[in-house]
Amino acid sequence: MNTPLFVHRTVLLNEAVDALAIRPDGVYVDCTFGRGGHSRLILSRLGPQGRLIAFDKDTEAIAAAQQLAQQDARFNIVHQGFDKLTQELARLDITQVDGVLLDLGVSSPQIDDGRRGFSFRFDAPLDMRMDTTRGITAAEWLATADETEIREVIKTYGEERFARKIATAIVAHRDSASPLQTTRELALLVGQNVHTREPGQDPATRTFQAIRIFVNRELDELKAVLPQAARCLCAGGRLAVISFHSLEDRIVKQYLRAAGSEEVLPAWVMIRAQDIAQPPLRSIGKPIRAGEQELQVNPRARSAIMRVAERTEASWRESDL
């Protein structure tokens, strides 16, 4: 059976690559290859000595990236989450890079492929993993987690005010009938327990977002990669981060504010021996959003916001930490 084709439109394509201020002989990292829109544009601006390393967890994205790697010796693909950034760069004998790009969230092919279980628009196995070779599925987690954990995940990651009712209903369903197995089962159950909704938004939207974020450790990985990215940037190197919801953007904004003002870093930044030399970052310009022309062809870009920062030559003093 042929694999279905899904259209992926890269969000803030030119804006993101422009923000990196590409040096032709530089080394760059695309932490979320997706279908390679940002990566291909970066490669088009690199010279023969330039280099690009991309990360992704999705096996279909990896397959697309491997084809590109066969065509372009300047490109390497790593099948890992970007929280392994410094570890994988070290494996490639890379200590510093000129730019790091993070395009967060779920890609259009993941959403539009009903088999992946990301969307309530399809009836499919309740999977939601970005990397289908590792970790537990959403269905497996919902079948074993207690009501308190389910409630806290939906409340924290989905900002859902009906989290308690939804969690109670999920546990009651598995106790009286069977654990939820499909996206349609979950969407119907949530719809029965969410009594108000935002105009134009399905009542299951927040719950699906929350479970997806939890299953893939999305916010944990974001918190882990930001200080790694800052440390591996050379002086003048750029960090560009595209977020798609307030939870992501809040983490990025909080980190960049602290890293740019010599404030105490956020509590979630783990200070280990190798973190003591955490360098400061200087925010570049105002946050960037998609323009009207892009929104006309890609409505999913409406929630995107990009923040850009540059590593300065100074370093944190150990006493500041």
pLDDT value of residue 257:
87
Q: Is residue 196 part of a domain?
A: yes
Q: Which long-range contacts (CB under 8 A, 24 or more apart) does 23-27 make?
A: 23/50, 23/98, 24/49, 24/50, 25/49, 25/50, 26/50, 26/51, 26/97, 26/98, 26/99, 27/51, 27/52, 27/53, 27/94, 27/96, 27/97, 27/98
User: Is the same domain home to 308 and 229?
Assistant: yes
The CATH number of the domain where 100 resides is what?
A: 3.40.50.150
Tell whether 249 is covered by a domain.
yes
Query: 120 in a domain, yes or no?
Result: no
- With respect to residue 299, please indicate whether it lies within any of the assigned structural domains: yes
Of 140, 161, 312, the closest CA to residue 211 belongs to 140
229 in a structural domain? yes
- Is residue 104 within 8 A of residue 241, CB to CB? The reply is yes
Question: Do residues 246 and 271 both lie within one domain?
Answer: yes
Does a structural domain hold residue 5? no
The tally of domains found in the chain comes to: 2
Which of 199, 215, 231 represents a domain boundary (last residue)?
215
Query: What does the buried/exposed string (b/e) look like for 297-319 if buried means 16 or more CB atoms within 10 Å of the residue's CB?
Result: ebebbeebbbbbbbbeeeebeee
- Residue 83 domain-assigned (yes or no): yes
Report pTM. Answer: 0.88
**211 shares a domain with 229:** no
Q: Which of 215, 247, 271 corresponds to the end of one domain? A: 215
The burial of 173, by beta-carbon neighbours within 10 Å (0-12 exposed, 13-18 middle, 19 or more buried), is given as middle
Q: Do residues 99 and 228 share a domain?
A: yes
Identify whether 147 is part of a domain: yes
Residues 237, 303, single domain; the answer is: yes
Q: What is the pLDDT along the chain (321 residues), one digit of tens a residue?
A: 344 444 557 889 999 999 999 999 999 999 999 989 999 999 999 999 999 999 999 888 899 999 999 999 999 999 999 999 999 999 999 999 999 999 997 755 555 555 665 676 778 899 999 898 989 999 999 999 999 999 999 999 999 999 999 999 999 999 998 899 999 999 999 999 998 777 778 899 999 999 999 999 999 999 999 999 999 999 999 999 999 999 999 999 999 988 877 666 677 665 443 444 567 899 999 999 998 888 888 887 888 999 999 998 754 433 333
Task: Please return the burial class of 296, using the count of CB atoms within 10 Å of its CB with bins 0-12, 13-18 and 19+.
Answer: exposed
Q: State the pLDDT at residue 294.
A: 86
CA of 54: how far to CAs of 10, 108, 214, 247, 257, in Å?
15, 18, 23, 24, 26
Do 41 and 166 sit in the same domain of this protein?
no
Segments forming the whole domain that contains residue 24: 13-109+218-320
Same domain, 225 and 314: yes
Same domain, 136 and 201: yes
- Burial (0-12, 13-18, 19+ Cβ within 10 Å), 231: middle
